Amino acid sequence: MKIRYLVVFFALTLPLSMFSQEFRGTISGVVTDATGGTIAGAKVTVTEIHTNTKVDVATESTGQYTAAFLLPGDYDIAAKTPGFKEYIRKGVHVGAGEHPVIDIRLDVGETTTTVEVTTEAPLVTSENASIGHAITTKEVEDLPLNGGSPWMLSQLEIGVIYSPFNSTSSVQQTYDSSNNFSIAGTPTQSSEMLLNGAPNATWDMRSAYTPPKDAVQEVRTTVLNTDASFGHTRGGTINMVMKSGTNQLHGSAWENMQPSNLTANSFFNNAKGLGNPLTHYNQYGLTAGGPVYIPKVFNGKDKLFWFFAWQHDKNTQPFTSFISVPTAAEKRGDFSQILQTDGTQLYDPFSATLNGSAIVRQPLPGNIIPTSRINPITQKYLNFFPAPNVNGVNATSRADGYFNYGTTAPNFNQADNESGQLDYNMSNRSRMSFNIRHNTLAAQKNDYFSNIASGTITARENWGASIDEVYTLSPTSILNLRLNGTYMYESSTDPSEGFDPTSLGFPSYIGANTVRPSLPYVYFDTSTAFQSLGYNQAAKRPSQNMQVYGSWTKLKGNHSFKVGTDVRQNRLSTITYGTPAGGYNFGGNRWVNNNASASATEAMGQDMAQFLFGLPTQGTFLRQLVFLLRFRLRAGRLAHQAQPHAQPRSALRLRRSFPRKVRPHRERLRLQHAEPDRTGRHRRI
């Protein structure tokens, strides 16, 4: 009766669902006698040798047996029935998603006599046409990984290409949140990343959590999925299976480091007089696992197991960049250098007169801006610029000041990573596992000037947990339930957060109306490479993914039937601050050319001259942009599959998506352009 209710429930939820990849394995086969006749009712016990977890099944009338939902590991298989000798086969390895077929032949004799099989023909390790394989525990432990991310092992599968998005680095760290794998020609960030078979991704399909290398048992990459249980992906799947505790206390400790005194300076840094930047790389951690044991209270041997992993990363990686900064003369208003080297003549924006229908201006004598006419706010901004440190002319810099500043500002990253797992064998019919994971990242980069005017600060924190129950209703009926959740908080800011704009001379209403006090953003024409001051990409992006999953599997002879539901909900809330204290663009060559209709092409120094006059070509004041998104993905599957001894196979997968509540909100104020007249007043245009 209970089974009937379960079937009705899953049948009703079928049109709303889709399945995750099953990361556990299966052992099946046929039990026969010496003549080849099948034996019904034989008891087959499959035992995991490290945890002594037992799965008892009985053969059907056809002699078929199936032990499903087996965690990756090494198993012993025992079979016995009255009138026959007991059969034992040791050391059968079951990898993630694998299905070895072990046929058993029982010889006539006393049940007290045991026949132990030590060698046989190679196992049949696949029961469908899916293409992929698992990276074993030994390979995970022994293969070198630059950065330590086990996701990189998926590159060993044919058809998988690592293609970093917006990056040239071939290294992936454990604290990176990315999905830079192209599987079978599909775009990057379109394949599903799973942890113990459960979704492990952000709202945009980046990895949410990456365990330390020593906490991973196997990495299975499936390039081509023919199984109906695969979904929620345009490409393949990468399924990482974590280690669990065993009856023996075990663990590991490691440290990977790169001594800074063994790091040589690059040829190009030496050529331009840039010193050898300091490099730090330090990654260390530990794992431990075993049975839960409380002296004189509880002994979890064969029952309850724990496993814990922790890793800390701290590294400083320098990156050489060349940018432009104003010279000491230009900070005083003296731009004679660009007149002598490039022939660029600057014109006085306050000398504008109307000549017919055109506005024309007079040249600045000697390309020198009088000190008295330099904007007082600009004078304070100029203090953020360091002095040029690349002298002379070479392959990078020019005599007009282009690329006259070299920096080896490092990218600083500090991350912590923790995970814990409990596995509970309540009985031979019930197996439960619980996993909790957490990682944090604090990163800073592009701090070219070592002050509040440069640099970005990134913070990321992820929490995830899952609970999974496999309950054997009968030897041929299995129920699997799972609840999984991931929460990710990401933010981007800069060192000037909290800065009072009025301290630079800005009017009080700028600070009074900002939702994020900070240094007003100043930027220049890209062709001159003058470094912008401030930041315009501050944001906060919390997101949440939830999954409720259930399936019921019925085994009947050579056939298996599976029905279930997978309900997912993804939530994203984005707050983008933009230019909350104002943004001012000094590019475009609007004010210091000879007339208003002249070419807007920027020559070196023109944007900086406009900056000294305090005349932006564009201004914005963006209070905040709030974007809320919530959507649900429900899918389902009804599948029939024949065991490997028979060929028929059929499957049905249905899915629906429910987008919910998209609420964008934006407040923006654009400053009007103004043409200065000879009196210094501005006329709106």
Q: What is the pLDDT of residue 200?
A: 93
Beta bridge partners of 253: 286
Rounded to the nearest 10°, the torsion over CA 67, 68, 72, 75 is: 0
Q: What is the pLDDT of residue 137?
A: 80
Number of C-beta neighbours around residue 271 at 10 A: 11
How far is residue 475's CA from residue 496's CA, in Å, rounded to a whole number? 65
Beta bridge partners of 629: 572
For CA atoms 385, 388, 389, 390, give the dihedral sign: positive
pLDDT tens per residue, range 311-370: 999 999 888 889 999 999 999 999 999 999 888 999 999 998 888 878 889 999 999 999
| 142 pLDDT above the threshold of 60 | yes
137 plus 225 within the same structural domain = yes
137 plus 178 within the same structural domain = yes
Q: Is 399:341 a contact under the CB 8 Å cutoff?
A: yes
How far is residue 291's CA from residue 448's CA, in Å, rounded to a whole number? 52
| 219 pLDDT above the threshold of 60 | yes
| 16 pLDDT above the threshold of 50 | no
Domain boundary among 82, 117, 152: 117
- For residue 574, being part of any structural domain is answered with no
Grade residue 667 by pLDDT with cuts at 50, 70 and 90. very low
- CATH classification of the domain holding 193: 2.170.130.10
236 plus 154 within the same structural domain = yes
- For residue 323, being part of any structural domain is answered with no
Q: Is 454:198 a contact under the CB 8 Å cutoff?
A: no
Q: What is the pLDDT of residue 431?
A: 93
How far is residue 63's CA from residue 28's CA, in Å, rounded to a whole number? 11
Report which DSSP code applies to 615.
-
Burial of 391-405, coded b for 16+ CB within 10 Å and e otherwise, reads: eeeeeebeebbbbbb
Residue found by looking up tokens 């200065």 in the block: 676
Number of C-beta neighbours around residue 659 at 10 A: 10
How far is residue 338's CA from residue 329's CA, in Å, rounded to a whole number? 11
pLDDT tens per residue, range 529-559: 999 999 999 999 999 999 999 889 888 777 7
Domain boundary among 90, 117, 144: 117
Helix (H, G, I), strand (E, B) or coil at 332: coil
Question: 292-306, 313-327, 628-642 — which is least confidently predicted?
Answer: 628-642
Residue found by looking up tokens 């929620």 in the block: 232
* Cα Rg, the chain, nearest whole Å: 33
Residue 423 amino acid letter? D
31 plus 107 within the same structural domain = yes
Q: What is the pLDDT of residue 1?
A: 47
- Return the closest-CA partner of residue 244 out of 482, 45, 435, 480: 435
90 plus 158 within the same structural domain = no
Could you tell me the pTM of the whole model? Answer: 0.81
234 plus 135 within the same structural domain = yes
679-683 long-range Cβ contacts below 8 angstroms, 24+ apart = 680/350
Q: Is 39:104 a contact under the CB 8 Å cutoff?
A: no
- Return the closest-CA partner of residue 418 out of 471, 461, 453, 481: 461
- For residue 647, being part of any structural domain is answered with no
Q: What is the pLDDT of residue 600?
A: 66
Q: Is 466:455 a contact under the CB 8 Å cutoff?
A: no
83 plus 140 within the same structural domain = no
173 plus 98 within the same structural domain = no
Q: Which two tokens stand for residue 77?
A: 């298989």
pLDDT tens per residue, range 162-209: 877 655 566 788 888 888 888 888 888 888 899 998 999 888 889 999
101 plus 156 within the same structural domain = no
Question: 113-122, 467-476, 604-613 — which is least confidently predicted?
Answer: 113-122
What is the count of structural domains for the chain?
A: 2
Domain boundary among 183, 215, 242: 242
Q: Is 587:523 a contact under the CB 8 Å cutoff?
A: yes
Which domain covers residue 27, as residue numbers? 20-117
**Highest mean pLDDT pick, 276-280, 449-453, 627-631:** 449-453
104 plus 185 within the same structural domain = no
- Provide mean pLDDT across the span 437-447: 95
Residues whose CB is less than 8 angstroms from the CB of residue 296 and which lie 6 or more positions away in sequence, other chains included: none
For CA atoms 593, 599, 600, 605, give the dihedral sign: negative
- Provide mean pLDDT across the span 136-147: 82
- Return the closest-CA partner of residue 523 out of 577, 479, 476, 583: 583
92 plus 139 within the same structural domain = no
How far, CA to CA in Å, does 602 sit from each of 21, 166, 338, 593, 608?
56, 27, 13, 10, 11
Query: Cα 266 to chain center, whole Å?
Result: 31
- Return the closest-CA partner of residue 51 out of 220, 226, 234, 304: 304
- For residue 150, being part of any structural domain is answered with yes
- For residue 152, being part of any structural domain is answered with yes
Residues whose CB is less than 8 angstroms from the CB of residue 314 and which lie 6 or more positions away in sequence, other chains included: 280, 282, 283, 413, 414, 415
- CATH classification of the domain holding 33: 2.60.40.1120
Q: Is 242:194 a contact under the CB 8 Å cutoff?
A: no
Q: Is 228:560 a contact under the CB 8 Å cutoff?
A: no
- Provide mean pLDDT across the span 604-626: 87
Beta bridge partners of 162: 181
Q: Is 193:220 a contact under the CB 8 Å cutoff?
A: no
Grade residue 634 by pLDDT with cuts at 50, 70 and 90. low
Residue 108 burial by CB count (10 A; 0-12/13-18/19+): exposed, middle or buried? exposed
- For residue 676, being part of any structural domain is answered with no
82 plus 150 within the same structural domain = no
- For residue 216, being part of any structural domain is answered with yes
User: Rounded to 5 degrees, what are φ and ψ at 404?
Assistant: -95, 10
Q: Is 654:635 a contact under the CB 8 Å cutoff?
A: yes
Q: Is 401:330 a contact under the CB 8 Å cutoff?
A: yes
pLDDT tens per residue, range 90-130: 989 888 878 888 999 998 887 666 666 655 544 444 455 55
- For residue 646, being part of any structural domain is answered with no
Residue found by looking up tokens 């086990």 in the block: 150
167: left (phi over 0), alpha (psi -120 to 50) or beta: beta
Residue 333 amino acid letter? G
